[in-house]
Amino acid sequence: QMRTTRKVSVWPVGLVGGRRYERPVVENGKVVGWYTGWRADRPFAIDMAGNLQVILSHPKAVFKRRGSQPGMQESDFLKQITTVEELEPKANNCTKVLVWHTRTEKVNLANEPKYHLDTVNIEV
C-alpha cells in the first residue's frame, strides 16, 4: 500500500507506545485525530517514514535534532511538507494493522486503555 502513496500516507502500527496499536482516526476518508498512548494533541501523533521524492521536493524542510520539544520532531518536520488534511489513510481507512513496531524486548502494554477503548475493533 505504501507504493500507492502520492504524498504522505498513514496507517496503524501494532505494539507501539505501550499499546496494542496506535492509529490515525479516520472519518469519511480523512484523518480527524489520533488514537495514541502519548500526546494525542500533537499535530501529527505518529512515527514516520516518507516518500523520498516528497522530501526532496521540499529542500528547506529540516528534521531538527535540537529545538523541537520531546516527541515533536515528526510533527515539526511534517508541518513543513504537508497538512493533516492531505494525509492519505491506508490499511482500509486505518482499521487494519499491517505493520508492527518490533523490538528485541518484551512488549510493554502499560498504556493500553482499560476504559476508553477505540471505536474500531482492530485485531493485532
- Segments of 13-99 assigned E as strands: 13-16, 19-27, 30-35, 88-89
Q: Does 74 qualify as catalytic in the annotation? A: yes
Of 22, 74, 86, 123, which one is the catalytic site residue? 74
Which residues, other chains included, contact 60 with Cβ-Cβ below 8 Å and sequence gap of 6+?
80
- Residues annotated as catalytic are 74
